[in-house]
Protein backbone atom coordinates (compact mmCIF):
# COMPACT_ATOMS: atom_id res chain seq x y z
CA UNK A 1 0.00 0.00 0.00
CA UNK A 2 1.35 3.41 -0.99
CA UNK A 3 0.88 5.95 1.77
CA UNK A 4 -0.48 9.25 0.51
CA UNK A 5 0.57 12.71 1.65
CA UNK A 6 -1.98 14.76 3.59
CA UNK A 7 -2.10 18.56 3.58
CA UNK A 8 -4.14 21.24 5.32
CA UNK A 9 -6.21 23.36 2.92
CA UNK A 10 -8.70 25.03 5.27
CA UNK A 11 -8.73 26.42 8.81
CA UNK A 12 -11.44 27.92 11.00
CA UNK A 13 -11.19 29.35 14.51
CA UNK A 14 -13.42 30.63 17.25
CA UNK A 15 -11.40 31.51 20.34
CA UNK A 16 -11.76 33.98 23.17
CA UNK A 17 -8.88 35.97 21.67
CA UNK A 18 -9.90 35.76 18.01
CA UNK A 19 -13.13 35.14 16.09
CA UNK A 20 -11.43 34.04 12.87
CA UNK A 21 -8.01 32.79 11.81
CA UNK A 22 -6.42 36.20 11.00
CA UNK A 23 -7.58 37.76 14.27
CA UNK A 24 -6.52 34.65 16.23
CA UNK A 25 -3.04 34.71 14.72
CA UNK A 26 -2.63 38.44 15.28
CA UNK A 27 -3.57 37.94 18.93
CA UNK A 28 -1.14 35.05 19.36
CA UNK A 29 1.92 36.76 17.92
CA UNK A 30 1.17 39.92 19.90
CA UNK A 31 0.63 38.07 23.18
CA UNK A 32 -2.99 39.16 23.44
CA UNK A 33 -5.35 37.09 25.59
CA UNK A 34 -9.14 36.91 25.67
CA UNK A 35 -9.67 36.05 29.33
CA UNK A 36 -11.96 38.10 31.54
CA UNK A 37 -14.93 38.07 33.94
CA UNK A 38 -17.59 35.49 33.06
CA UNK A 39 -20.82 37.18 31.99
CA UNK A 40 -22.75 34.26 30.47
CA UNK A 41 -23.82 32.96 33.89
CA UNK A 42 -24.07 34.35 37.41
CA UNK A 43 -20.75 33.41 39.01
CA UNK A 44 -21.26 35.18 42.33
CA UNK A 45 -21.20 31.91 44.29
CA UNK A 46 -18.40 30.26 42.31
CA UNK A 47 -14.78 30.16 43.43
CA UNK A 48 -13.54 31.12 39.97
CA UNK A 49 -15.27 34.06 38.32
CA UNK A 50 -13.41 34.41 35.03
CA UNK A 51 -12.80 32.43 31.86
CA UNK A 52 -12.28 32.57 28.12
CA UNK A 53 -15.67 33.33 26.57
CA UNK A 54 -16.29 33.55 22.82
CA UNK A 55 -18.44 36.54 21.80
CA UNK A 56 -20.32 34.69 19.05
CA UNK A 57 -22.12 37.14 16.76
CA UNK A 58 -25.50 36.86 15.03
CA UNK A 59 -23.75 37.59 11.73
CA UNK A 60 -21.48 34.58 12.17
CA UNK A 61 -24.42 32.37 13.07
CA UNK A 62 -26.45 33.55 10.10
CA UNK A 63 -23.53 32.88 7.73
CA UNK A 64 -22.98 29.40 9.16
CA UNK A 65 -26.52 28.08 9.63
CA UNK A 66 -28.75 30.37 7.57
CA UNK A 67 -31.91 30.66 9.64
CA UNK A 68 -30.94 32.02 13.10
CA UNK A 69 -34.01 30.31 14.57
CA UNK A 70 -32.39 26.97 13.80
CA UNK A 71 -29.72 27.88 16.32
CA UNK A 72 -32.22 27.50 19.14
CA UNK A 73 -32.36 23.78 18.41
CA UNK A 74 -28.61 23.35 18.80
CA UNK A 75 -26.30 23.49 21.81
CA UNK A 76 -23.64 26.18 21.87
CA UNK A 77 -20.82 23.67 21.29
CA UNK A 78 -22.44 22.70 17.97
CA UNK A 79 -22.94 26.33 16.95
CA UNK A 80 -19.25 27.03 17.61
CA UNK A 81 -18.30 24.06 15.43
CA UNK A 82 -20.60 25.18 12.60
CA UNK A 83 -19.18 28.70 12.58
CA UNK A 84 -15.55 27.50 12.64
CA UNK A 85 -16.32 24.90 9.96
CA UNK A 86 -17.84 27.61 7.76
CA UNK A 87 -14.59 29.58 7.90
CA UNK A 88 -12.52 26.44 7.25
CA UNK A 89 -14.64 25.55 4.23
CA UNK A 90 -14.41 29.09 2.83
CA UNK A 91 -10.63 29.11 3.18
CA UNK A 92 -10.40 25.65 1.57
CA UNK A 93 -12.22 26.79 -1.57
CA UNK A 94 -14.73 23.94 -1.35
CA UNK A 95 -18.33 24.92 -1.96
CA UNK A 96 -19.77 21.98 -0.03
CA UNK A 97 -22.34 19.47 -1.34
CA UNK A 98 -20.47 19.60 -4.64
CA UNK A 99 -18.03 16.77 -3.99
CA UNK A 100 -16.79 14.45 -6.72
CA UNK A 101 -17.64 11.62 -4.33
CA UNK A 102 -19.26 12.64 -1.01
CA UNK A 103 -18.55 9.18 0.44
CA UNK A 104 -14.84 10.01 0.36
CA UNK A 105 -15.28 13.10 2.54
CA UNK A 106 -14.97 12.43 6.29
CA UNK A 107 -16.29 14.50 9.18
CA UNK A 108 -14.49 13.74 12.44
CA UNK A 109 -15.16 16.41 15.06
CA UNK A 110 -15.18 15.82 18.80
CA UNK A 111 -15.98 17.52 22.09
CA UNK A 112 -14.75 16.72 25.54
CA UNK A 113 -18.10 17.30 27.25
CA UNK A 114 -20.75 18.11 24.65
CA UNK A 115 -24.04 19.86 25.37
CA UNK A 116 -23.61 20.62 29.04
CA UNK A 117 -25.65 23.83 28.97
CA UNK A 118 -28.58 21.97 27.37
CA UNK A 119 -28.42 19.24 30.00
CA UNK A 120 -28.47 21.84 32.79
CA UNK A 121 -31.35 23.80 31.26
CA UNK A 122 -33.55 20.79 30.58
CA UNK A 123 -32.84 19.22 33.96
CA UNK A 124 -34.18 22.43 35.50
CA UNK A 125 -37.31 22.10 33.33
CA UNK A 126 -37.67 18.47 34.39
CA UNK A 127 -37.43 19.29 38.09
CA UNK A 128 -39.73 22.31 37.96
CA UNK A 129 -42.30 21.32 35.32
CA UNK A 130 -42.09 17.55 34.95
CA UNK A 131 -40.80 15.05 32.37
CA UNK A 132 -43.41 15.86 29.73
CA UNK A 133 -42.06 19.40 29.37
CA UNK A 134 -38.49 18.36 28.54
CA UNK A 135 -37.54 19.53 25.05
CA UNK A 136 -37.59 16.98 22.20
CA UNK A 137 -34.37 18.63 21.07
CA UNK A 138 -32.51 17.70 24.27
CA UNK A 139 -30.94 14.48 23.03
CA UNK A 140 -29.60 15.84 19.72
CA UNK A 141 -28.46 19.00 21.53
CA UNK A 142 -26.50 17.21 24.25
CA UNK A 143 -24.84 14.23 22.54
CA UNK A 144 -21.18 14.71 21.71
CA UNK A 145 -21.46 13.52 18.11
CA UNK A 146 -23.93 16.28 17.18
CA UNK A 147 -21.16 18.61 16.02
CA UNK A 148 -19.79 16.05 13.57
CA UNK A 149 -23.29 15.15 12.45
CA UNK A 150 -24.43 18.73 11.89
CA UNK A 151 -21.26 19.72 10.02
CA UNK A 152 -21.58 16.68 7.75
CA UNK A 153 -25.21 17.59 7.04
CA UNK A 154 -24.30 21.21 6.32
CA UNK A 155 -21.73 20.22 3.68
CA UNK A 156 -23.09 16.92 2.38
CA UNK A 157 -20.07 14.94 3.58
CA UNK A 158 -21.10 11.26 3.57
CA UNK A 159 -17.82 9.54 4.40
CA UNK A 160 -16.66 8.39 7.86
CA UNK A 161 -18.60 10.50 10.33
CA UNK A 162 -17.95 10.27 14.06
CA UNK A 163 -16.80 12.01 17.20
CA UNK A 164 -13.89 11.11 19.44
CA UNK A 165 -14.15 12.12 23.09
CA UNK A 166 -10.90 12.02 25.03
CA UNK A 167 -11.17 15.09 27.26
CA UNK A 168 -8.44 17.61 26.46
CA UNK A 169 -6.87 15.36 23.80
CA UNK A 170 -10.11 15.16 21.78
CA UNK A 171 -9.34 17.42 18.82
CA UNK A 172 -5.85 16.03 18.32
CA UNK A 173 -7.21 12.50 18.27
CA UNK A 174 -9.83 13.60 15.72
CA UNK A 175 -7.21 15.21 13.49
CA UNK A 176 -4.96 12.16 13.78
CA UNK A 177 -7.77 9.77 12.90
CA UNK A 178 -8.81 11.88 9.90
CA UNK A 179 -5.18 12.04 8.76
CA UNK A 180 -4.94 8.24 8.79
CA UNK A 181 -8.25 7.86 6.90
CA UNK A 182 -6.81 9.96 4.07
CA UNK A 183 -3.28 8.61 4.15
CA UNK A 184 -4.44 4.99 3.83
CA UNK A 185 -6.68 5.83 0.85
CA UNK A 186 -10.13 5.52 2.41
CA UNK A 187 -10.92 9.24 2.00
CA UNK A 188 -9.69 12.20 -0.01
CA UNK A 189 -10.91 15.03 2.26
CA UNK A 190 -11.81 15.43 5.94
CA UNK A 191 -13.38 18.17 8.04
CA UNK A 192 -11.92 17.67 11.49
CA UNK A 193 -11.08 19.21 14.85
CA UNK A 194 -12.81 19.96 18.13
CA UNK A 195 -15.36 22.20 19.81
CA UNK A 196 -16.31 23.01 23.40
CA UNK A 197 -18.73 25.23 25.34
CA UNK A 198 -18.49 24.22 28.97
CA UNK A 199 -18.54 27.59 30.74
CA UNK A 200 -21.67 26.61 32.63
CA UNK A 201 -22.55 26.28 36.31
CA UNK A 202 -21.72 22.57 36.39
CA UNK A 203 -18.62 22.95 34.26
CA UNK A 204 -17.19 25.67 36.46
CA UNK A 205 -18.21 23.99 39.72
CA UNK A 206 -16.92 20.58 38.64
CA UNK A 207 -13.46 21.77 37.69
CA UNK A 208 -13.26 23.91 40.82
CA UNK A 209 -14.19 20.89 42.94
CA UNK A 210 -11.12 19.01 41.72
CA UNK A 211 -8.97 22.13 42.23
CA UNK A 212 -8.07 22.30 38.55
CA UNK A 213 -8.91 25.98 37.95
CA UNK A 214 -6.99 29.11 38.80
CA UNK A 215 -8.71 31.24 41.42
CA UNK A 216 -6.76 34.39 40.59
CA UNK A 217 -9.93 36.50 40.52
CA UNK A 218 -8.03 39.69 41.22
CA UNK A 219 -6.04 39.31 37.99
CA UNK A 220 -7.76 37.18 35.31
CA UNK A 221 -5.37 38.48 32.65
CA UNK A 222 -2.40 36.80 34.35
CA UNK A 223 -4.19 33.72 35.67
CA UNK A 224 -3.13 31.36 32.89
CA UNK A 225 0.64 31.24 33.29
CA UNK A 226 2.01 28.00 31.81
CA UNK A 227 5.36 26.80 33.19
CA UNK A 228 5.57 29.73 35.60
CA UNK A 229 6.44 28.85 39.18
CA UNK A 230 3.36 30.68 40.52
CA UNK A 231 0.80 28.90 38.32
CA UNK A 232 -2.27 27.76 40.25
CA UNK A 233 -4.51 26.06 37.68
CA UNK A 234 -5.96 26.43 34.21
CA UNK A 235 -8.50 28.94 32.91
CA UNK A 236 -11.69 27.39 31.55
CA UNK A 237 -12.43 28.51 28.00
CA UNK A 238 -14.68 27.72 25.08
CA UNK A 239 -13.99 27.65 21.38
CA UNK A 240 -13.66 25.61 18.22
CA UNK A 241 -10.76 24.79 15.91
CA UNK A 242 -11.64 23.08 12.62
CA UNK A 243 -9.34 21.98 9.78
CA UNK A 244 -10.00 20.83 6.25
CA UNK A 245 -7.33 18.28 5.37
CA UNK A 246 -6.87 16.68 2.00
CA UNK A 247 -4.76 14.29 -0.05
CA UNK A 248 -1.95 16.26 -1.68
CA UNK A 249 -2.64 15.51 -5.34
CA UNK A 250 -6.37 16.06 -4.81
CA UNK A 251 -5.52 19.53 -3.44
CA UNK A 252 -3.05 20.31 -6.24
CA UNK A 253 -5.49 19.39 -8.99
CA UNK A 254 -7.99 21.98 -7.80
CA UNK A 255 -5.37 24.65 -7.11
CA UNK A 256 -5.99 24.80 -3.37
CA UNK A 257 -3.95 26.93 -1.01
CA UNK A 258 -1.88 24.60 1.17
CA UNK A 259 -1.21 25.79 4.71
CA UNK A 260 0.95 22.89 5.82
CA UNK A 261 1.28 19.13 5.88
CA UNK A 262 0.20 16.55 8.47
CA UNK A 263 2.96 13.95 8.71
CA UNK A 264 2.68 12.05 12.00
CA UNK A 265 0.29 11.03 14.75
CA UNK A 266 0.72 9.21 18.04
CA UNK A 267 -1.77 8.20 20.72
CA UNK A 268 -1.29 6.28 23.97
CA UNK A 269 -2.85 5.86 27.41
CA UNK A 270 -1.33 6.34 30.85
CA UNK A 271 -3.42 3.61 32.54
CA UNK A 272 -2.69 5.43 35.78
CA UNK A 273 -5.39 7.74 37.21
CA UNK A 274 -8.66 9.48 36.29
CA UNK A 275 -7.21 13.00 36.43
CA UNK A 276 -3.55 12.92 37.51
CA UNK A 277 -0.76 12.36 34.96
CA UNK A 278 1.51 9.36 35.34
CA UNK A 279 4.57 10.67 37.26
CA UNK A 280 6.86 8.43 35.18
CA UNK A 281 5.70 10.11 31.95
CA UNK A 282 5.86 6.75 30.17
CA UNK A 283 2.63 7.25 28.23
CA UNK A 284 3.51 10.75 27.04
CA UNK A 285 7.00 9.67 26.01
CA UNK A 286 5.63 6.70 24.05
CA UNK A 287 3.05 8.96 22.40
CA UNK A 288 5.57 11.46 21.04
CA UNK A 289 7.89 8.68 19.92
CA UNK A 290 4.98 7.04 18.12
CA UNK A 291 4.27 10.30 16.29
CA UNK A 292 7.94 10.66 15.31
CA UNK A 293 8.00 7.08 14.02
CA UNK A 294 4.75 7.66 12.12
CA UNK A 295 6.31 10.73 10.48
CA UNK A 296 9.56 8.84 9.85
CA UNK A 297 11.67 11.65 11.23
CA UNK A 298 14.26 11.95 13.98
CA UNK A 299 13.57 13.92 17.14
CA UNK A 300 16.28 16.41 16.17
CA UNK A 301 14.16 17.52 13.20
CA UNK A 302 11.44 18.95 15.46
CA UNK A 303 12.02 22.67 15.89
CA UNK A 304 8.89 23.74 17.78
CA UNK A 305 6.47 22.14 20.21
CA UNK A 306 3.08 23.61 20.94
CA UNK A 307 2.79 22.24 24.46
CA UNK A 308 -0.33 21.10 26.24
CA UNK A 309 0.91 23.55 28.88
CA UNK A 310 -2.22 23.95 30.98
CA UNK A 311 -0.79 26.13 33.78
CA UNK A 312 -1.43 23.44 36.39
CA UNK A 313 1.31 22.40 38.82
CA UNK A 314 1.48 18.76 37.71
CA UNK A 315 0.94 19.05 33.95
CA UNK A 316 3.64 21.60 33.23
CA UNK A 317 6.47 19.94 35.12
CA UNK A 318 5.34 16.53 33.86
CA UNK A 319 5.27 17.64 30.24
CA UNK A 320 8.69 19.23 30.62
CA UNK A 321 10.07 15.91 31.89
CA UNK A 322 8.37 14.03 29.04
CA UNK A 323 9.95 16.28 26.42
CA UNK A 324 13.36 15.70 27.99
CA UNK A 325 12.70 11.97 27.97
CA UNK A 326 11.88 11.97 24.26
CA UNK A 327 14.41 14.46 22.90
CA UNK A 328 17.37 14.16 25.28
CA UNK A 329 19.96 16.86 24.64
CA UNK A 330 17.86 18.26 21.78
CA UNK A 331 15.20 19.31 24.30
CA UNK A 332 17.47 22.22 25.27
CA UNK A 333 17.52 23.43 21.66
CA UNK A 334 13.77 23.17 21.11
CA UNK A 335 11.41 26.10 21.30
CA UNK A 336 8.26 25.09 23.20
CA UNK A 337 5.39 27.40 24.01
CA UNK A 338 1.89 27.11 25.40
CA UNK A 339 -0.73 29.31 23.77
CA UNK A 340 -3.19 28.61 26.61
CA UNK A 341 -2.00 31.76 28.37
CA UNK A 342 -3.87 33.59 25.61
CA UNK A 343 -6.72 31.21 24.76
CA UNK A 344 -7.38 29.62 28.14
CA UNK A 345 -8.00 25.88 28.10
CA UNK A 346 -10.73 25.02 25.63
CA UNK A 347 -10.72 21.32 26.61
CA UNK A 348 -11.95 19.27 23.62
CA UNK A 349 -11.29 22.19 21.25
CA UNK A 350 -7.73 22.82 22.49
CA UNK A 351 -6.04 20.51 20.00
CA UNK A 352 -7.83 22.16 17.08
CA UNK A 353 -6.82 25.66 18.14
CA UNK A 354 -3.26 24.56 18.82
CA UNK A 355 -2.97 22.66 15.53
CA UNK A 356 -3.84 25.90 13.74
CA UNK A 357 -1.36 27.84 15.88
CA UNK A 358 1.35 25.30 14.98
CA UNK A 359 0.56 25.42 11.26
CA UNK A 360 0.62 29.22 11.21
CA UNK A 361 3.91 29.24 13.13
CA UNK A 362 5.45 27.05 10.43
CA UNK A 363 3.90 28.97 7.55
CA UNK A 364 4.78 32.45 8.85
CA UNK A 365 8.10 31.72 10.52
CA UNK A 366 6.96 33.11 13.87
CA UNK A 367 6.64 31.17 17.12
CA UNK A 368 3.85 32.34 19.45
CA UNK A 369 4.93 33.07 23.01
CA UNK A 370 4.08 31.70 26.43
CA UNK A 371 2.69 34.82 28.11
CA UNK A 372 2.62 35.60 31.84
CA UNK A 373 5.95 33.83 32.30
CA UNK A 374 7.59 35.87 35.06
CA UNK A 375 8.99 33.49 37.69
CA UNK A 376 11.05 30.53 36.43
CA UNK A 377 10.31 27.14 37.94
CA UNK A 378 13.38 24.92 38.51
CA UNK A 379 11.28 21.91 37.40
CA UNK A 380 10.28 23.71 34.18
CA UNK A 381 13.60 24.69 32.69
CA UNK A 382 13.26 24.54 28.91
CA UNK A 383 12.87 27.31 26.31
CA UNK A 384 9.21 28.32 26.55
CA UNK A 385 9.45 31.34 24.17
CA UNK A 386 8.68 33.60 27.14
CA UNK A 387 6.31 36.55 26.69
CA UNK A 388 7.36 37.66 23.19
CA UNK A 389 6.89 35.97 19.81
CA UNK A 390 10.06 34.85 18.06
CA UNK A 391 11.05 34.83 14.41
CA UNK A 392 12.20 31.31 13.52
CA UNK A 393 12.05 29.25 10.34
CA UNK A 394 11.08 25.75 11.47
CA UNK A 395 10.38 22.71 9.30
CA UNK A 396 8.55 20.45 11.77
CA UNK A 397 6.25 21.28 14.69
CA UNK A 398 4.69 18.91 17.20
CA UNK A 399 1.40 19.65 18.97
CA UNK A 400 0.76 17.84 22.26
CA UNK A 401 -2.47 17.26 24.16
CA UNK A 402 -2.96 15.25 27.34
CA UNK A 403 -6.45 14.50 28.64
CA UNK A 404 -8.08 13.41 31.88
CA UNK A 405 -8.31 9.64 31.86
CA UNK A 406 -4.70 9.33 30.71
CA UNK A 407 -5.34 10.13 27.03
CA UNK A 408 -2.23 11.30 25.16
CA UNK A 409 -2.13 12.63 21.60
CA UNK A 410 0.66 14.12 19.49
CA UNK A 411 0.34 15.42 15.94
CA UNK A 412 3.31 16.47 13.80
CA UNK A 413 3.05 19.12 11.07
CA UNK A 414 5.53 20.05 8.36
CA UNK A 415 6.03 23.40 6.69
CA UNK A 416 4.85 23.13 3.10
CA UNK A 417 7.21 24.61 0.50
CA UNK A 418 5.61 23.12 -2.59
Q: Is residue 168 among the annotated active site residues?
A: yes
Do both 379 and 405 map to the same domain? yes
pLDDT at 260 over 60: yes
Q: State how many domains the chain has.
A: 2
Query: What is the CATH number for 58?
Result: 3.40.47.10
Q: Give the torsion sign (CA, 176, 204, 42, 372).
A: negative
Domain end among 201, 228, 260: 260
Whether residue 157 lies inside any domain: the answer is yes
What mean pLDDT is predicted for residues 234-252? 98
Q: Is residue 180 among the annotated active site residues?
A: no
What mean pLDDT is predicted for residues 39-52? 97
Do both 224 and 326 map to the same domain? no
Strand partners, 246: 7, 189
Query: Of residues 33, 181, 250, 308, which has the active-site annotation?
Result: 308
What mean pLDDT is predicted for residues 278-291? 95
Query: Of residues 33, 181, 250, 345, which has the active-site annotation?
Result: 345
Whether residue 408 lies inside any domain: the answer is yes
Containing structural domain, residue 401: 266-414
Do both 195 and 113 map to the same domain? yes
Do both 244 and 122 map to the same domain? yes
pLDDT at 68 over 70: no
Whether residue 309 lies inside any domain: the answer is yes
More confident residue, 331 or 95: 331
- Decide if 352 contacts 193 (C-beta within 8 A): yes
Do both 226 and 374 map to the same domain? no
Q: Is residue 267 among the annotated active site residues?
A: no
pLDDT at 63 over 80: no
- Decide if 284 contacts 320 (C-beta within 8 A): no
Do both 138 and 210 map to the same domain? yes
pLDDT at 155 over 70: yes
Query: Of residues 168, 187, 287, 380, which has the active-site annotation?
Result: 168
Do both 245 and 313 map to the same domain? no
Do both 200 and 277 map to the same domain? no
- Decide if 261 contacts 5 (C-beta within 8 A): yes
Tell me the per-residue pLDDT of 316-350, one tens digit each, with 9 for 90 and over. 999 999 999 999 999 999 999 999 999 999 999 99
Amino acid sequence: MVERRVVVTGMGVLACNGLDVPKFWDALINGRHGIGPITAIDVSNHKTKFGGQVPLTNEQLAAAIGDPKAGRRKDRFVLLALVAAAEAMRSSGFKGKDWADPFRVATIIGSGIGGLSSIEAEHKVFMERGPHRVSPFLVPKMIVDSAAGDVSIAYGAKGPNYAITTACATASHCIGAAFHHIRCGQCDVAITGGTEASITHLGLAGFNSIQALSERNDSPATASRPFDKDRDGFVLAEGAGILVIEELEHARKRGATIYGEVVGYGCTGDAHHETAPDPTGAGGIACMRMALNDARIAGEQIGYINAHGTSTPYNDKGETAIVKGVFGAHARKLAMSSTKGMTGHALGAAGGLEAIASLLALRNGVLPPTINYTTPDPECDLDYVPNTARQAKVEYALSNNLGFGGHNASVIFRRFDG
